[in-house]
Structure 1
Amino acid sequence: MDNRYRRYLPQLYRERDSAFIPAQSWPKTLIDLALARGQQEHKLLRNTGIFYEDIAQGNILLTPQQIFRLLDNATRQPQGYELVFLVARDLLTPYQAHLSQANNLAELLDYFVTYAGTLSPLLSLHLHYEQDRLVIYWQDNFGADELTPFLLAMMASSMRNFTRWRSASSPTWTFYFKHAKPEYIEQYQVHLGEQLVFNARADAIAIARHELHSNWPKIPTSMNIINPLTAENPRGFLHEVYYYLHSNLQDQPNLEQCAQDFGMSSATLKRKLQKHHSSFQQQYDLVRKHLALHWLSETRITQEEVARQLHFYDAANLRRAFKRWTGQGPGKL
């Protein structure tokens, strides 16, 4: 744990009602697949504010809340859960030429972090090295709530598909999901393999460190980059709050200071967090949970030291909080 830090101030962010997701990308794929499987258009697009004619004819931008309504409608239909895995097959195709420039998994993950606003706008990635493996924790950026499992399955499957293709092998991913094992477990097994953990402490994927730098086959440099990636995309609101709290943890940030730095009153920040189905305490605890999982996996760091770094009175309070966050005590690590 490094005590050196530079105070971070909030940057531009996007909200639930910010229109920035191209409808012509995976949302259209989802709609087309659903219609091809017999779903009725009026039920699929109900209360989304989406009209198929507009998507087919122009470059329409959708908001996260429109995406959530669409995903909710699609997955409520019989066998609708299969759609997210089918969408995942082509999720990264528009950026394949750019991502293929990665020479190994470590470089690919750098792309995902740098261009997260484009590659994974609804879920952000937080990378932690824990002993002999890399753990990537997922964070909901806009308040997807009960739809989060579908987004997790989609992103996990797309990442597994791409790394298997690009590496010409099968990187050994382990997938962790906080939710219970679904009835359609065979879909997870087909698309994600057998290394699945449900009722986990956190939504995450993990891989052994030694697989990160194994060289991948060369790709011809003549591949056309049709959809160039840009790092200028703002973070989602919840990600920006998380990043602010994580970066300024040493200051023991509170609601009032956070609101001031975000340029609004405490009441306005509360309302904005509620709009995204979250709260200041939830985001603060998520930061501390991820750091606790990371630090407590390092045997050289004591629970007392972790408690101090995370601003708990003592190790006993840390243990109680950890059990509340994960359902298990830190001794289980």
Structure 2
Amino acid sequence: MTEPARQAPALRSDRSGFPTLNQRIFAPFKIATVIDTVAERGISAEAVLARTGLTLADIRDPHTLTSIGQYLTACENIVKAGAGFADAFSIGSRLHLSAYGMYGYALMCSPTMRDFFDFAVRYQPLATPTVRLHWRVEGDVAIWEFREIYRDFMSDDVRTFLLRQQMKMTFTHIRDAAGTDNLAVRAIFSLPEDEWSKEDARELSCTCVYDGEANELHYPVSLLDRTPALGNRLTRSMLEETCERLIGQSRIASGLSGELYQRLLSTPGQFPSMPEMAAQLGMQERTLRRKLALEDTTYGAIIDDVRRKLTMEYLQTTQMSVDDVAWKVGFSDSANLRRAVRRWTNGTVGQIRAGKVQGAGR
């Protein structure tokens, strides 16, 4: 490593529990794509990586972990070095689903495009997100919405650059999954119209509207029923298990909820009440509740997830009796444990021990 990365204040996505800016949990594929793209216009890798604390060797190492803050810094560097919106579109067109590891492959294997939309939103924290994805149906269109979540940490030029990049990325991902003939019917930008507006329409192959209240891409609602060329329900289910584990690892490492996960996992079966946990942390119960709400979770949900993780581990890796497992994870009896297992996995204890329940490892 070279100089330390910029230390930006921790900020979670629109109060949702997304990774913080400095949390290093992402493979370097996005930064690598930026480097390769702008090299063609004479911007060096060293210029791209200035102030990120990363070297080119780090970026070429698939085991390197990077943060959203480092990616924002890299984009800030290239904009200052002269990269324009054409480069934003070029980066977006190169970030195919195949660049996103398990997340991208799972999306390509979606049984339907509706499943694709749902999965993309649910597991988006695996994709070095700079916006938060949402989707909805209104009349005859399926709408992607891109909510800005780190806006306070970038200049207007970088913000505009990243919004255009995101639009092109989503355009690329839909074509990767559903075919090149599946195009948006409209793009809405919260940005003012500028000299690049005609280029937006050309790059996105649709009408573009400006000064909107949101940033959106609209597709024909019929797209939701399309089957991706590589759609395979079983393969997607297997890949989803991996994505769920990765999401779980991110959750355990992040914020106040991450601290609670670590505390509870280290003392299985001993789950303090919320007032007791708040006292341990030196805060009021209402303060703990409010801070967890900002991370889009609750103390009860964290305890339930910890119980699930511990239960699956004990059932799959030990010969403990069901009564002992129940006691170990804080259930009053085995009947309550069996009901919880059914709720978590839609399977039984016996099926989990036999490895016959999809998703039991989540």
TM-score scaled by length of structure 2: 0.56
Structure 2 counterpart of 1:122, one-letter code: T
* 2:289 paired with 1:261: yes
Where relative contact order (Cα < 8 A, 6+ residues apart) is larger, the structure is: 1
Counterparts of 1:58 and 1:112, CA distance in 2:
22
| 2:183 matches 1:171 | yes
- Report Cα offsets for 1:158-211 as digits up to 9, x if no partner: 222232243232233421111112433344233211321111111122223233
Q: Please name the residue that 1:28 is paired with.
A: 32
With over 3 angstroms needed to count, the CA separation of the structure-2 counterparts of 1:132 and 1:33, relative to structure 1, is closer
User: What is the identity percentage for the equivalent residue pairs of Structure 1 and Structure 2?
Assistant: 15
CA deviations on 1:225-259 (whole Å, 9 max, x unpaired) are 99953443449x99x9xxxxxxxxxxxxxxx9985
| Deviation, structure 1 residue 217 | 4.1
1:135 equivalent in alignment to 2:139: no
Decide which moves more: 223-232 or 164-173: 223-232
Q: 100, 120, 124: which is aligned to 2:132?
A: 124
Aligned twin of 1:160: 171
For residues 55 and 230 of structure 2, the distance between their equivalents in structure 1, rounded to whole angstroms, comes to 42
Q: How far apart, CA to CA, are the structure 2 residues paired with 1:140 and 1:40?
A: 29
Q: 1:223 to 1:97 in 2, by over 3 A?
A: farther
SS at 2:243's partner residue? coil
Deviation at 1:141, TM superposition (A): 2.9
The count of corresponding residues between Structure 1 and Structure 2 is 240
Which residue number corresponds to residue 327 of structure 1? Answer: none
Partner of 2:348: none
The answer to whether the 8 Å contact 1:112/1:119 transfers is no
Distance 1:44 1:218, change over 3 A: closer
Contact 2:171–2:184 (8 Å) recurs in 1: no
Relative to structure 1, the CA distance from residue 11 to residue 187 in structure 2 (aligned partners, 3 Å threshold; closer, same or farther) is closer
Measure how far apart 1:100 and its partner are. Answer: 1.9
Q: CA deviation at 1:263?
A: 4.2
Q: Are residue 50 (structure 1) and residue 54 (structure 2) matched?
A: yes
- CA gap 1:218/1:98 in 2 versus in 1, 3 angstroms: closer
The amino acid of 2:175's aligned partner reads R
**Residue 70 of structure 1: how far off its partner (Å):** 0.9
Cα distance 1:56–1:140, how it changes in 2: closer, same or farther (>3 A)?
A: same
How much does 1:43 deviate? 3.3
In structure 2, distance between residues paired with 1:68 and 1:179: 19
Distance 1:156 1:44 in 2: 22
Partner SS, residue 61 of structure 1: coil
Alignment-derived partner of residue 14 in structure 1: 19
Q: Which has the higher helix share?
A: 2
Shift of 1:216: 4.3
Contact residue 132 and residue 146 of structure 2 kept, 8 A: yes
CA gap 1:51/1:122 in 2 versus in 1, 3 angstroms: same
SS at match of 1:127: strand
In structure 2, C-alpha distance between the alignment counterparts of 1:14 and 1:258, rounded to whole Å: 23
Match in the other structure for 1:149: 160
Choose from 217, 232, 235 the match for 1:205.
217
AA aligned opposite 1:17 = N
The answer (yes or no) to whether the contact 1:135–1:204 under 8 Å persists in 2 is: yes
| Deviation readout 1:100-126 (Å, 9 max, x if unpaired) | 212332111011012111136221112
Contact map agreement 1:21 1:63 (CA 8 A) in 2: yes
TM-score with structure 1 length normalisation?
0.60
Alignment of 1:1-333 (within 5 A): 13-23=18-28, 25-57=29-61, 59-91=63-95, 92-94=97-99, 95=101, 96-119=104-127, 121-143=129-151, 144-145=153-154, 146=156, 147-168=158-179, 169-217=181-229, 229-230=243-244, 231-232=247-248, 233-234=250-251, 259-263=287-291
Q: Supply the distance in 2 between the matched residues of 1:11 and 1:81 (Cα, whole angstroms).
A: 29
Q: Which has the larger radius of gyration?
A: 2
In 2, the alpha carbon distance for the partners of 1:209 and 1:58 equals 37
Aligned CA distance change for structure 1 residues 155 and 260 (closer, same or farther; 3 Å): same
Asked if structure 2 preserves the Cα contact closer than 8 Å seen for 1:64 and 1:142, the reply is: no
8 Å contact 2:30–2:71 — kept in the other structure?
A: no
State how far apart, in whole Å, the 2-side matches of 1:263 and 1:163 are. 36
Aligned partner of residue 89 in structure 2, secondary structure:
helix
